[in-house]
């Protein structure tokens, strides 16, 4: 007889495994099904994020940043290194070790929370009196039944039309994390989050990196002033960023790739690269779920249709993370997972995209929460803005990292914080203060009056808050 569960989660990425943990904490008999497999056929839960996304990219960003520091920054501290070299295979092996530690950590969490982990592909096989029937293939093929099903099957890279990814010359995110040696000429299609992060990794290690972006504006999702500062910093580092590019042909040769395009002025151009990363966004992934057979509604772009509570059109079938609308971010997926488990328990799970932070892990890092100046202007909201540069922050000077600034945006009448935008060292950590402030409905005055440790980068946040009221102290 099929094993019966209260909750079955299909997909063990950050959305799925977090949903499973929370469901188990709430007392539900829970299963999590995930098909990701590592060397030796072993399970590798954690999804895109753990295996070929957040974690490995941050491991390589750290290694390459260490190399960059040793190459360019250490000398000013009096640290002299002769014969500096990068051993790419050691760097990749370290990255893989970090990934495997995370896979094993998730397997441990499944055990700790008494979650039944099923390694294989889950597909819907219909409904009976007890709930949804789900087939699991793989080495331990089985069928289970679940009262509630949570779909967390994630996303896959979007392909450039008629350009096949072989992960040798033409790379998606998986290939970009596995380049065996530093390419002399690396091309990147798409100046989005992956393009900037992976372009930075290989540029720091010595590649000539050219990024080809279709849109005329650089980093249109960020606050305009942040995007401008970022472009300046990346160009100074040597990233060749070309915007307004319309790619007309990609030709793969034996040991190179030719990319032909029309540039922003509609003039034809051609560049040759050793390898080409394609990072032009991601698409929801539902293949193999057997979604049609149960009548699960997808939208025209392939996302599973959900309401604001992550309910699909089918009773007791929920969907979370990259496979549904909203930002494709690991922490968004996690929060939706927690919220859905709590809703199944009759609680009031809550996710607010307006307070979901965004981080781009380049150096300087870029992070924001809430709305930017363009969005506030478009919405006709009267706001005040305060900015503080890291060049005037003692800790940043001591670190030798003075690029960038913090910008605080607050409602002109109520002073409630509407957005915080950071470009600079550890923006990824600094942004948490803005998230907390916005979740608590804080005003810029609140941040301005809170004691911040000296010397710390967070003082720049306080100074930006003071700047909203034109009373910055150190600038």
Token representation of residue 319: 């969907």
Neighbour-count burial for 48-86, b at 16+ CB within 10 Å, e otherwise: bbbbbbbbbbebbbbbbbebbeeeeeeeeeeeeeeeeeb
Considering only the stretches 29-37, 104-112, 233-241, 432-440, report the one whose residues sit in contact with ligand FAD under the rule CB under 6 A: 29-37
Q: How many residues bind ligand FAD (CB under 6 A)?
A: 37
Q: Name the one residue in this structure whose structure tokens are 């849109």.
A: 215
Report the nearest approach of ligand FAD to the CB of residue 281 (Å): 10
Q: Does residue 241 touch ligand NAI according to CB under 6 A?
A: no
Considering only the stretches 46-54, 68-76, 91-99, 464-472, report the one whose residues sit in contact with ligand FAD under the rule CB under 6 A: 46-54
Residue spans of alpha helices (H) in 70-183: 88-112, 173-176
Q: Does residue 306 touch ligand FAD according to CB under 6 A?
A: no
The smaller minimum CB distance to ligand NAI, of residues 160 and 417, is found at 160
Token representation of residue 183: 């390419």
Report the nearest approach of ligand NAI to the CB of residue 388 (Å): 24
- Applying CB under 6 A, among 171, 212, 418, 460 the residue interacting with ligand NAI is 212
Return the number of other C-beta atoms located less than 10 Å from residue 259's C-beta. 22
- Applying CB under 6 A, among 291, 310, 330, 448 the residue interacting with ligand FAD is 330
- Applying CB under 6 A, among 216, 264, 281, 302 the residue interacting with ligand NAI is 281
Report the nearest approach of ligand FAD to the CB of residue 203 (Å): 16
Report the nearest approach of ligand FAD to the CB of residue 172 (Å): 8
Consecutive H or E run containing 442: none
Q: Which of residues 103-162 bind ligand NAI (CB under 6 A)?
A: 160
Contact 156, 288 (CB under 8 A): no
Q: Does residue 171 touch ligand FAD according to CB under 6 A?
A: no
- Grouping H, G, I as helix, E, B as strand and the rest as coil, residue 420 is strand
Contact 155, 308 (CB under 8 A): no
- Applying CB under 6 A, among 6, 14, 335, 340 the residue interacting with ligand FAD is 14
Report the nearest approach of ligand FAD to the CB of residue 211 (Å): 15
The set of catalytic residues is 454
What is 234-263 written as a DSSP string?
Answer: HHHHT-EEE-S-EEEEEEE-SS-EEEEEE-
Q: Does residue 387 touch ligand FAD according to CB under 6 A?
A: no
């Amino acid at each position: 007889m099929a094993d019966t569960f209260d909750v079955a989660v299909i997909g063990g990425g950050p959305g799925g495994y977090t949903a499973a943990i929370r469901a188990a904490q709430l007392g539900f008999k829970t299963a999590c099904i995930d098909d990701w497999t590592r060397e030796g056929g072993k399970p590798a839960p954690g999804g895109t994020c753990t295996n070929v996304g957040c974690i490995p990219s941050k491991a390589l960003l750290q290694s390459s940043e260490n190399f960059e520091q040793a190459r360019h920054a250490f000398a000013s501290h009096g640290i002299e290194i002769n014969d500096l070299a990068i051993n790419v295979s050691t760097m990749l092996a370290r990255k893989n070790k970090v990934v495997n530690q995370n896979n094993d950590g998730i397997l441990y969490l499944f055990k700790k929370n008494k979650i039944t982990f099923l390694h294989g592909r889950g597909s819907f096989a219909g409904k009976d009196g007890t709930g949804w029937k789900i087939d699991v293939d793989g080495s331990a093929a089985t069928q289970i039944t679940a009262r509630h099903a949570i779909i967390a099957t994630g996303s896959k890279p979007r392909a450039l039309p008629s350009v096949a990814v072989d992960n040798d010359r033409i790379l998606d995110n998986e290939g970009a994390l596995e380049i065996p040696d530093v390419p002399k000429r690396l091309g990147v299609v798409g100046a989005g989050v992956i393009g900037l992060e992976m372009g930075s990794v290989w540029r720091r290690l010595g590649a000539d990196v050219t990024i080809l972006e279709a849109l005329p504006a650089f980093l249109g999702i960020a606050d305009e002033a942040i995007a401008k500062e970022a472009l300046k910093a990346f160009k100074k580092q040597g990233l060749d960023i070309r915007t307004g590019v319309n790619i007309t042909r990609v030709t793969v040769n034996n040991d190179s790739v030719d990319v032909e395009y029309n540039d922003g002025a509609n003039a034809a151009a051609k560049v040759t690269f050793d390898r080409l990363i394609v990072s032009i966004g991601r698409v929801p992934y539902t293949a193999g779920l057997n979604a049609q057979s149960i009548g699960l509604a997808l939208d025209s772009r392939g996302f599973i249709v959900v309401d604001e509570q992550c309910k699909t059109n089918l009773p007791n079938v929920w969907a979370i993370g990259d496979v549904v609308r909203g930002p494709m971010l690991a922490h968004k997926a996690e929060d939706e997972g927690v919220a859905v488990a709590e809703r199944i328990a009759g609680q009031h799970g809550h996710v607010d995209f307006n307070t979901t932070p965004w981080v781009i892990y380049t150096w300087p890092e870029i992070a924001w929460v809430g709305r930017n100046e363009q969005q506030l202007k478009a919405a006709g909201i009267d706001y005040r803005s305060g900015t503080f540069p890291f060049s005037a922050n003692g800790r940043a000077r001591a670190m030798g990292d003075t690029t960038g600034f913090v910008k605080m945006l607050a409602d002109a009448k109520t002073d409630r914080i509407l957005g915080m935008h950071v470009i600079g060292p550890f923006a990824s950590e600094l942004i948490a203060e803005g998230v907390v402030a916005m979740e608590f409905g804080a005003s810029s005055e609140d941040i301005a009056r809170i004691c911040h440790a000296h010397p710390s980068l967070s003082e720049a946040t306080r100074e930006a808050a003071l700047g909203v009221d034109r009373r910055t102290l150190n600038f």
